[in-house]
Amino acid sequence: MQARVNGTLIRLTVNDITGCRVDAIVNAANSGLMGGGGVDGAIHRAGGPSILAECRRIVAKSGSLPAGQAVVTGGGNLPARWVVHTVGPVWHGGGRGEDELLRDAYLNSLRLAVDHGARSVAFPSISTGAYRFPLEPASGIALAAVRDFPALDALDEVVFVLFHPGDLDVYRQTWPGVFPGVELVPGTGKTR
C-alpha cells in the first residue's frame, strides 16, 4: 500500500528489510550497538562484519547510545548504502516517556538519513518486538513522526517494512487518523 504526501511516497509493505533497495535502512538496535536478535540480528548477519566494526568504533568513541538517539554506519553487504542504528524505548507500561522516546527514534533517524544525503529510507517497526511496545500506538507514533518531520520534502520515499501481514493491517488501520483524507492505494513503488 502507498500514498503520496506532497512530494514523498510513503509505503507500507511486508518484507525483510535487509533486502530493501533504499539509500538507508533503519535498525532497531540496543544501546550497546553490538547486535542482537530480531531485525538487529538480521541486519548484522546480512550486512557482514564491517557494520559491527563501525558500531564498535562509535561506542568506543561516544559510549552507548541512549534510547531515542541514532547513529549511522555504512551498509556493508546490504543493498542499502547506510544503516541508521536507533534505539527505541523498552515498554514499561507507558509512564516512562516511551511515546516521546519512540517519536525521537523516528525523527532522529530521519534527520540523520537526510543529513547523509539519503533520498529513500526504510523503517522496521521499532520497539514492537523484544521491547514490547504495543503495535497500535507505536504505528501511530511512527506515521505521525514521518508526517511531522520538517525535512520530509528532501525524501522521495519512506518505507515501513513490516515483518508480519497482521502488522501491516494495524498500520493501515492507524493511517486515516494520522493522514486524514490521504488515501492508501495498492502499489509496489520502486523498491522491493
DSSP codes, 125-165: -TTSSTT---HHHHHHHHHHHHHH-TTGGG-SEEEEEESSH
Contacts with ligand AR6, residue ranges (CB under 6 A): 16-18, 28-30, 36-40, 42, 88, 124-131, 161, 163, 167
Catalytic residue among 23, 40, 104, 167, which? 40
Contact call for residues 180 and 168 (beta carbons, < 8 A): no
Q: What is the CA radius of gyration of the chain?
A: 15
Question: Is position 148 annotated as part of the catalytic site?
Answer: no
DSSP H or E stretch at residue 112: helix 98-115
Which residue lies nearer to ligand AR6 by CB, 73 or 125? 125
Q: What is the C-alpha separation between 131 and 142, in angstroms, rounded?
A: 15
- We find the least distance from the C-beta atom of residue 62 to ligand AR6, in angstroms, to be 18
- We find the least distance from the C-beta atom of residue 167 to ligand AR6, in angstroms, to be 6
Which residue lies nearer to ligand AR6 by CB, 59 or 130? 130
Which residue lies nearer to ligand AR6 by CB, 33 or 155? 33
- We find the least distance from the C-beta atom of residue 153 to ligand AR6, in angstroms, to be 26
Please give the positions annotated as active site: 40
